[in-house]
Amino acid sequence: MKNLSAPMLKGNKILKFESFVLNLGGKRTVVLITAISITLSVLLTCSICLYFEYSNLWSSSLSRIDWILIVASAALVPLIVAPIVTGHLVRMVFRIHYLQEELQKLATLDSLTGLLNHGAMMNSIEKTYKLAIKEQQEITFIMMDIDYFKNINDRYGHAAGDMVLKNFGTLIKKISKSSDLVGRVGGEEFLACLYGDSSLEGHSFINRLQDEIRGTEYRSEGHPFKVTSSIGITKMSPLDPLPLDTLLKNVDKALYQAKRAGRNKVIEHTQGPPGQLQAS
């Protein structure tokens, strides 16, 4: 059986060193390690010289000038070598940290809109749902779909479609609070999860988004056009919480009803009898 403890210990040490360098900063790390290297080199060299002198291994005792030369020599090598080696190591740490952040973004963010991707959004919602149950807080779910998006691609091209998606994501981020979870969960579908917000605040979110959508005009090869959005909304009451899967099905159902009602509509799925929907 393989011993996994050694690699784990090495990994922990590497992570601690990376955290140390990032917190201290590149220049301070180089200065600190250089100072430690010089101190250790001088102490080791002087200890060896003292041992040889007290053991009468020198032909004559060391003079003051000899000691100055010894200390200077012991300090000179690390003073030259340590900054070069440490500087290269520090740059490598920062480079690795940057690449880790980029990989994290690729793993969690939608590359086009900068919102959470489907997997990251579902993971975050699950954690938020558990926290809301524990703290007895409301959650409002809002599902948004860009109307007739296929027609935009067919008429104006995929570049225009990407432009609409990117801007739609920007509009959602613009009206969202830092506590809101927002993500792109499908081709032209977006989902928002508002923690601790009432339906009233959920509708305020929707009204601000619709105002932004109405005020935005797109252009493709000189041709202006606008878009609309169908929206479904539901909320979880802390007094009678539904399972997360049910809540997501309900908001999806509300969005579907908004599209069937002619699009550019807002439908709320209330927590009443199964399938009860209310237009707003």
Active site residues: 188
**C-alpha–C-alpha distance, residues 156 and 151, integer Å:** 8
Beta strand pairing call for 266-269 and 229-236: parallel
**C-alpha–C-alpha distance, residues 265 and 144, integer Å:** 10
Q: In this structure, how many other beta carbons lie within 10 angstroms of the beta carbon of residue 40? A: 12
Largest CA distance in the chain: 104
Please report how many Cα atoms fall inside a 13 Å half-sphere around the Cα of residue 118, on the Cβ side: 5
Q: In this structure, how many other beta carbons lie within 10 angstroms of the beta carbon of residue 258? A: 27
